[in-house]
Every structure is written in structure tokens, then in C-alpha cells.
Amino acid sequence: MEDKALLQMLVDMLAYYKHQAKMLVWVVVIVLAMHLATVIGFLYYESTMETVTTTTTTQTVDGEENDIVNGDQYNDESQNRSK
């Protein structure tokens, strides 16, 4: 009699753990789906942004006491002055 009760308790415990394992699998699947949806949403959000390209131009001038204002050369000794 004691063996049957112990066996029934073991069977009940295994059924409980089987149910818990199924619930855990569902929770993991739902969390992964939410994570994937977040990543896809972020990629969509980033794709709607404009890309801005900044270009830096370096200009060197021969001579001393050279002033460059807004890309135009003033007060220099070079031959290619722009005004």
C-alpha cells in the first residue's frame, strides 16, 4: 500500500513538473517574440531617419599672415585669389 501511494505521488509530481516545463517554454517563446518585434521596430525606425553626410575641406595657402574667411582667401601672397 505504501509503495502505491509513493508511486502515485511520484506520478503526480512528474505531471506537475511537465506542466511547469510547458509553461516555461511558452514564456521563453513569448519573450523571444517580443524581443524580435522590438528589434524589427527599431530597424524600421532607424530606416526612416535621414542620413546626413558632413564633408570637411582643408585649404592651405602659401605665404604668411593669411586669413581665410568662409572659404575665400584674403591677405595672402598666392596667385589664385578669389574675392
Q: Are residues 67 and 83 in the same domain?
A: yes
Q: Are residues 38 and 58 in the same domain?
A: no
E strand map for 1-83 = 67-69, 72-74
Q: Are residues 39 and 8 in the same domain?
A: yes
- In order along its 83 residues, the chain shows pLDDT tens digits of 789 999 999 999 999 999 999 999 999 999 999 999 999 999 999 999 888 888 887 766 666 666 666 665 555 555 655 55
- Look up the pTM and report it: 0.51
Please state, in angstroms and rounded to a whole number, the distance separating the CA atoms of residues 13 and 17: 6
Q: Are residues 58 and 32 in the same domain?
A: no
Q: Are residues 8 and 35 in the same domain?
A: yes
Q: Are residues 16 and 47 in the same domain?
A: yes
How many residues are there in the chain?
Answer: 83
Domain residues for the domain of 11 are 2-52
Q: Which three cell numbers stand for residue 41?
A: 521596430
